[in-house]
Amino acid sequence: MRKTFRDFSFASAAVLAAAAVAALVTPAGLDAQGPKIPRTPDGKPDFSGTFEWPKANGGPRCKCSATIFDPAKMSPLKPGGEPFFEPRTGDPAHDEPRAFCMPAGFPSGMLSANAVQMVQNKNYLVIVHEFQRMTRIIPMDGRAHREGLEPMFYGDPVGHWEGDTLVVDTTNFKRWSLDDYYYTDPTQYRMHSEALHTIEHIRWKDASTIDYELTIDDPKIFTAPWTEDFEMKARPDWDKIGLFEYVCEENNRCPGGQCKEK
């Protein structure tokens, strides 16, 4: 608790004013004024906790197990660019590679309707999605992307702070599915190319809601980057149970698309 002085000089008043500004972050880690958001001891927003998956603000609602992108928010396709839509072929390895325990990839895996847990310290934000136990380890010190890596399902993420917003920049993807829209329209199997570049803006909207913006930049497919905004609701009531284990290989009954009863 701040001391109270009966008499103080103008200089002392300035010191106290500066201290009052610093005290906007309380020992409990919450803002004393304005939106009450969790903060770390060094004053950065703290995203640690368990959340619902990102849910789109407006647009079509997917009735399947994953969120899909809003076609109205997508930039026009680039003439002559790499094909964005692939029809289903009947080959399960192509039509639903997750049936073979292949990764959903990013951003598709982040949108699946399962719990998401975040663990944050000064140097890293770790995002673990219950679906396929997707794990992303995001350095937050502003470092550059690594070089010489093979293309990856989840890319190479690096983060930096812009005020109270964490910006995550990810590159080095392999060509893979973009979302699950093909469950809505089998003729529109949306793919992204190996040139995919994603930018995530993660910020607290209030003490229980995260604003999650995802920008898709794929110059082989789209004429310009486009953004879709989501919300993630904090679920502290899920912390006690935690994430459930997801081991696809152990329970995969349909290798090669040939289902067998056990």
210 within domain boundaries: yes
250 within domain boundaries: yes
Listed in sequence order, the residues at least 6 apart from 196 whose beta carbon sits closer than 8 Å to its beta carbon are: 155, 171, 173, 216, 217, 218
> Which residues of the chain fall short of a pLDDT of 50?
1-30, 32-33, 59, 62-65, 262
Which residue in 193, 190, 158 sits closest to 173, CA to CA? Answer: 193
DSSP SS3 for 56? strand
Which pLDDT belongs to residue 63?
44
Which pLDDT belongs to residue 77?
93
123 within domain boundaries: yes
- Tell me the CA distances in angstroms from 13 to 23, 26, 32, 85, one per residue in order: 15, 21, 20, 65
Which residue in 172, 177, 148 sits closest to 158, CA to CA? Answer: 172
User: Where in the sequence is the domain holding 242, given as residue range(s)?
Assistant: 49-255
pLDDT 10s digits, 173-214: 999 999 988 888 888 889 999 999 999 999 999 999 999 999
Report the predicted TM-score, pTM, of the whole model to 2 decimal places.
0.81
Locate 121 and state its tokens.
Answer: 């310290």
The helices-and-strands tally (H runs, E runs) of the chain is: 3, 13
Report whether 140 contacts 124 (CB < 8 A).
Answer: yes
Polymer length of the chain? 262
In the chain, the number of structural domains is: 1
HEC profile of 154-176: CCEEEEEEECCEEEEEEECECCE
113 within domain boundaries: yes
Locate 261 and state its tokens.
Answer: 């009863």
Separation between Cα atoms, residue 220 and residue 253, nearest integer Å:
37
Which residue in 178, 212, 213, 214 sits closest to 195, CA to CA? Answer: 178
Separation between Cα atoms, residue 59 and residue 42, nearest integer Å:
38
112 within domain boundaries: yes
Alpha helices in 32-147 (DSSP H): 92-95
Which pLDDT belongs to residue 86?
85
Residue 233, strand partner residues: 209
Locate 128 and state its tokens.
Answer: 């673990």
192 within domain boundaries: yes
Which pLDDT belongs to residue 101?
86
Report whether 172 contacts 155 (CB < 8 A).
Answer: yes
Which residue in 173, 179, 121 sits closest to 149, CA to CA? Answer: 173
Which residue in 203, 51, 46, 66 sits closest to 117, CA to CA? Answer: 51
Locate 118 and state its tokens.
Answer: 């975040």
Phi, then psi, of 72 in degrees rounded to 5: -65, -20
Query: Please, what is the end-to-end C-alpha distance for the chain in angstroms?
Result: 65
Phi, then psi, of 166 in degrees rounded to 5: -90, 125
Which pLDDT belongs to residue 35?
62
23 within domain boundaries: no
6 within domain boundaries: no
